Structure 1
Amino acid sequence: MNPALFVVAAILDRILGDPPGWPHPVRLIGAGLRRLERAAPVSPFPRRLYGVAVTLALALACALVVDLCVSLPGAGGLFAVYFAFAGLALGSLLREARAVLHLLEAGDLPGARRALAGLVSRDTARMDALAVRRALAETVSENFNDGFVAPLFYLVLGGPALLWAYKAVSTMDSMWGYRTPHYRELGWFCARADDALAFVPARLSALALVGGGWAMRRRPVGVWSRIRRDAGTMASPNAGWPMAAAAWVCGAGMGGAAVYFGQAVDKPRLGPDGQWDGPHLRLLVRVVSRAGTGLAVAGMLMFFLI
């Protein structure tokens, strides 16, 4: 595998992102999961076993299909580039974040709520501007890991096939990994598999965000111990790491009240007491952008060391 693949994929991700109208493997995985969900057993115990079987089978199938495509004579290199860049989602995340921020600054709160709804699973219909800004900061920092760092990690570790095995599990977790009565058993295994697969990348994400902050002279004293402390308060073993890192580097807090599927949730507080405003959000976008660039270059260098 050519080490330039990491840099080319990261560049194409920044330039193209997820072009509207283009076919995308995640959409195909999502469509398949919706069909498989309808075929799930009714009783709780078989639903858990069914979820285990679907998780393992889908991850293996995605890896095999991608491996077959990248092994084709002549066209394999193009497939490798496509699957590598399509597995990264930092470019589209940053563009969508800037779009929400632009709507907020233009005074279009309803438009900002609608745009944010495409990025988060929480209810946005009744959010005020402050809640929209905080939710935007949380999803940008958390998805920096889920949409970029973790896929890049598995791309470096095992090429496009391993990347898409991870993406299959991650997509399942985003669709089935909820603690609601409907998904509690069905998504039990994919949620735990995603936690295990994202364990190392989540901590790399926090490290990269701290590095991005240092490059911009954002250097809070004792930042790593604060990140580790705050991350430990979260129910997820991974989500708190990039969120706490972004909060401390940018100087604004995360967590607090949110509504998911009609249920109010009080999330642990992360970071300092400051609130997210336009300048803080623009700083976050720049820090995430620099952190992503640094990791892409580090991935290429790591390839030479492995």
Structure 2
Amino acid sequence: MEREGQGQMTFEVEHLWTWPFWTGMAGAWIIILAYLLDRCIGDPRWIPHPVIGMGKGISALERVIRSRVRTDSGLKRAGLLLPMVIAGGSFSITWGLVYLLGLIHPVIAAVAEVVLIATTIASKGLKNAGMEVYRHLKQQDWPAARRSLGMIVGRDTAHLDEPEVVRGTVETVAENIVDAIVSPLFYALIGGAPLAMAYRAVNTLDSMVGYKNDKYLHLGWASARLDDVANWIPARLTAILLIVGAWVMKLDAKGAARMVARDARLHPSPNSGFPESAVAGALGIRLGGHNVYHGVASFRAYMGEATRPMEAEDIVQTSRLMFWSAGAFVVLCVFITLGVWLAGGTLLWS
């Protein structure tokens, strides 16, 4: 009986330290390598991306729902199915894949974790999108700059002048620091690749159906609300990271903190105002203002103070802030995983 009990304890300890694969020392390396993998190679077009599969699944499920549901109340109830099926399915498939690979060998599972988490991050793609606009501006190719901006924003860009092109680019890069970097890593820290992939599914749902228009007001409400909830903590954490990044870069860190406190909640989104106001304060510029969407003018609350005119170099500075804040969060993730690992070891062997 005593030997049997000891054998059982040994198995449980080994099981605890090898699963889930994102905890402990291995988890620290997984976070680091996933971020570096995305930063170095991004999302090569020749490799199938999970988001493409999510998008096809969302479109297919939407067609099925609309073919069977006609009323607004029915669409609102059916809207709950989208995140349940798409986000839940993404989590389950990823968990099952990593678990099966872990049965073959933990190293194979760890490599899969790195690759899968990297696909949920888009630091390189976000930087490249911003810098493409910057290069066109430096070449004074205004039509190309407007077209490049139009690829990453929903507003009309055909008639924007240079400061407005800069504003649109800075706002987009700042806002997407949350969606493209901090949130995926935040959920990878909590639940590895399965939870990071579930977050990416939620974010994809919001980008496809989370609109307050006639088509998606009822069907997309749950997806939009879930995206707001999922980004609530990461958005506020990103603001802190950007303030730290501003301090490291010798920008106006105090101004960044002041603008977050003053302006973040003025944004129509419960989350986007935090990174945008932090960047605006750090750079000493004013974001927000009048935008045009499909010919309809819309005013967005101002973020920051216009201490100087906006210029193309603000795009470069925003990209640098993005990488400093992302790097700081990766370091934070490593300390947390190691802390949990060490605390768990102390409890197990005390």
Q: TM-score, normalised by structure 1?
A: 0.96
- Equivalent position of 2:29 in the other structure: 4
Match of 1:33 among 58, 68, 79: 58
Greater shift, 201-210 or 275-284, is seen at 275-284
CA distance in structure 1 between the partners assigned to 2:146 and 2:109 by the alignment: 41
Match status 1:44 vs 2:72: yes
- Equivalent position of 1:214 in the other structure: 247
CA distance in structure 2 between the partners assigned to 1:240 and 1:205 by the alignment: 11
CA distance in structure 2 between the partners assigned to 1:34 and 1:114 by the alignment: 27
- Equivalent position of 2:323 in the other structure: 289
Match of 2:95 among 45, 62, 67: 67
Question: Going by fraction, where is helix more abundant, 1 or 2?
Answer: 2
Name segments (4+ residues, structure 1) moved above 4 Å.
none
Greater Rg, structure 1 or structure 2? 2
- Equivalent position of 2:39 in the other structure: 14
Task: Find the residue that maps to 2:114 and give its secondary structure.
Answer: helix
Question: Quick check: 1:63–1:165 contact (8 Å CA) kept in 2?
Answer: yes
Shift of residue 68, structure 1, vs aligned partner: 1.2
Match status 1:178 vs 2:211: yes
Question: Quick check: 1:251–1:280 contact (8 Å CA) kept in 2?
Answer: no
Q: Percent identity?
A: 33
CA distance in structure 1 between the partners assigned to 2:309 and 2:85 by the alignment: 44
CA distance in structure 2 between the partners assigned to 1:132 and 1:223 by the alignment: 22
- Equivalent position of 1:96 in the other structure: 129
**Which amino acid is 1:128 matched to?**
D
Question: Quick check: 2:244–2:253 contact (8 Å CA) kept in 1?
Answer: no
Shift of residue 21, structure 1, vs aligned partner: 2.5
- Equivalent position of 2:6 in the other structure: none
- TM-aligned CA distance change 1:78 to 1:245, over 3 Å: same
Shift of residue 63, structure 1, vs aligned partner: 0.4
CA distance in structure 2 between the partners assigned to 1:54 and 1:220 by the alignment: 40
Shift of residue 222, structure 1, vs aligned partner: 5.5
- Equivalent position of 1:84 in the other structure: 117
Which runs of no fewer than 5 residues in structure 2 stay unpaired?
1-21, 341-350
Match status 1:24 vs 2:49: yes
CA distance in structure 1 between the partners assigned to 2:288 and 2:294 by the alignment: 17
**Which amino acid is 2:158 matched to?**
A
Question: Quick check: 2:284–2:305 contact (8 Å CA) kept in 1?
Answer: yes
Match of 2:236 among 185, 194, 203: 203
Match of 1:116 among 149, 152, 169: 149
